[in-house]
Amino acid sequence: MEVTDRVHVVALGWEVARVVDPLYELKADKIVVILPHDEAFVADFEYEMLEELEANDRIAVETRTANIYDLDSMLQTITQAAKDHEDDEVYINVSTGTQIAAIAGMMAAQTSDATPFYVQITPDNPDEDEVWVPDEPIFSTSGDITELPVFELQGPSPEQLQILGFLHGNDGVTKKELIEHAEEVELPFIMNTEAESDEGRYRVLDSHIINPLTENEYITVEKAGRKKEVSITQRGIDALAAFPLDSETMDAVEHRPDVREMRSKAFNPDLESMTSRTKGRHAGLDESSERD
């Protein structure tokens, strides 16, 4: 049986810990490092990091170059790296490099089987009361403005989101109960069907709701005694927080504080929370922003 490797794709961005630590924590077998065309952008400690990685017998090191400020260049490089290792488990580290590199990494993951991940920063001294913030802006001037393409994220359909909302409020329901709910709220897939028998309605439910939501891991269907129960997964809950909901679906999840809080944080950040995040910024400002 062929054994796949765990391959990390990462753009350099004046960091070491957020490049190296995930290699060991996620048991990587190889790292594809994207360097800038201009070597002047590479710090001495980054060269030292590469030398130490290359001296490690367990992790293979491959380097590629790209224009770290050009989306097309970064996207092509990351996408090609994922393509070249399509038979392996590819992970894209979007926490280092320029912001363009992070955007390109997420876009590359959308067109491949690669898994993007982000590594949070940690202060050198977690018990330190004082935090460091710059006295002046990191850069005093700006450069050219580049328009970025917009890609639509393909999420659950409105009626699938409605079912997810119902499941979140009533976890572990039968297919019969889902059909009854769909009839009650007049969802199109059940109202527009020509199927008259119960068997036909079950097939419509499976084709429009159960199968696509199961394939995308939004729900699970498990046998419970003589019946099957449908339950929402964490990915399904995340979808309720991430995608726009119609009024009926909002009503279905309104009494669920976890989803309501997630949506509130995602779409309605208040001034107090923004101030809190600013005050809570740790020493060692996120250097990925310093590159842009």
Asked, for residue 184, whether it belongs to a domain, the answer is yes
Q: Which amino acid is at 223?
A: K
The reply to whether 111 and 181 lie within a common domain is no
The reply to whether 21 and 94 lie within a common domain is yes
Asked, for residue 268, whether it belongs to a domain, the answer is no
Cβ-based neighbours of 171, under 8 Å, separated by 6 or more: 231, 232
pLDDT higher for 79 or 123? Answer: 79
Query: Is 70 exceeded by the pLDDT of residue 143?
Result: yes
The reply to whether 110 and 242 lie within a common domain is no
What is the distance between the alpha carbons of residues 65 and 124, in angstroms, rounded to a whole number? 31
The residue segments making up the domain with residue 115 are: 6-151+285-290
The reply to whether 29 and 119 lie within a common domain is yes
Q: How confident is the model at residue 128 (pLDDT cuts 50, 70, 90)?
A: low
pLDDT higher for 165 or 268? Answer: 165
pLDDT higher for 244 or 30? Answer: 30
The reply to whether 51 and 101 lie within a common domain is yes
Asked, for residue 62, whether it belongs to a domain, the answer is yes
Asked, for residue 104, whether it belongs to a domain, the answer is yes
What local confidence, expressed as pLDDT, does residue 82 receive?
93
Asked, for residue 267, whether it belongs to a domain, the answer is no
Share of the chain above pLDDT 70, in %: 80
Give the mean model confidence (pLDDT) for residues 47-70: 93
How many domains would you assign to the chain? 2
Weakest mean pLDDT among 145-154, 243-252, 278-287: 278-287
Q: Output the domain CATH number for residue 199.
A: 1.10.10.10
Read off φ and ψ for residue 56, nearest 5 degrees.
-80, 125
The reply to whether 143 and 167 lie within a common domain is no
Query: Is 80 exceeded by the pLDDT of residue 129?
Result: no
Asked, for residue 275, whether it belongs to a domain, the answer is no
Q: How confident is the model at residue 112 (pLDDT cuts 50, 70, 90)?
A: confident
The reply to whether 164 and 110 lie within a common domain is no
* Helices 234-242 & 158-169 angle (0-180, nearest 10): 120
Q: Which amino acid is at 81?
A: A
Q: Output the domain CATH number for residue 52.
A: 3.40.50.10770
Q: Which amino acid is at 285?
A: L
Q: How confident is the model at residue 287 (pLDDT cuts 50, 70, 90)?
A: very low
The reply to whether 147 and 162 lie within a common domain is no
Asked, for residue 109, whether it belongs to a domain, the answer is yes
Residue 98 in tokens: 């320029």
Instruction: Give how far Cα 105 sits from Cα of 56, 111, 215, 234, 235, Å.
Output: 26, 10, 24, 24, 21
Strand ranges, E, within the chain: 6-11, 30-36, 60-66, 89-93, 115-117, 219-224, 227-232
Buried b (16+ CB within 10 A) or exposed e, 70-97: bbebbbebbbebbeebeebbbbbbbbbb
Weakest mean pLDDT among 79-83, 240-244, 268-272: 268-272
Report which listed range, 191-195, 258-262, 274-278, is most confident.
Answer: 191-195
Weakest mean pLDDT among 21-25, 105-109, 271-275: 271-275
Q: Mean of the per-residue pLDDT values for the chain? A: 82
The reply to whether 146 and 163 lie within a common domain is no
CA quadruple 283, 284, 286, 289: dihedral sign? positive
What local confidence, expressed as pLDDT, does residue 281 receive?
39
Asked, for residue 169, whether it belongs to a domain, the answer is yes
Q: Which amino acid is at 197?
A: S
What local confidence, expressed as pLDDT, does residue 83 receive?
92
What is the distance between the alpha carbons of residues 237 and 148, in angstroms, rounded to a whole number? 29
Q: How confident is the model at residue 279 (pLDDT cuts 50, 70, 90)?
A: very low
The reply to whether 120 and 249 lie within a common domain is no
The reply to whether 103 and 177 lie within a common domain is no
The reply to whether 108 and 43 lie within a common domain is yes
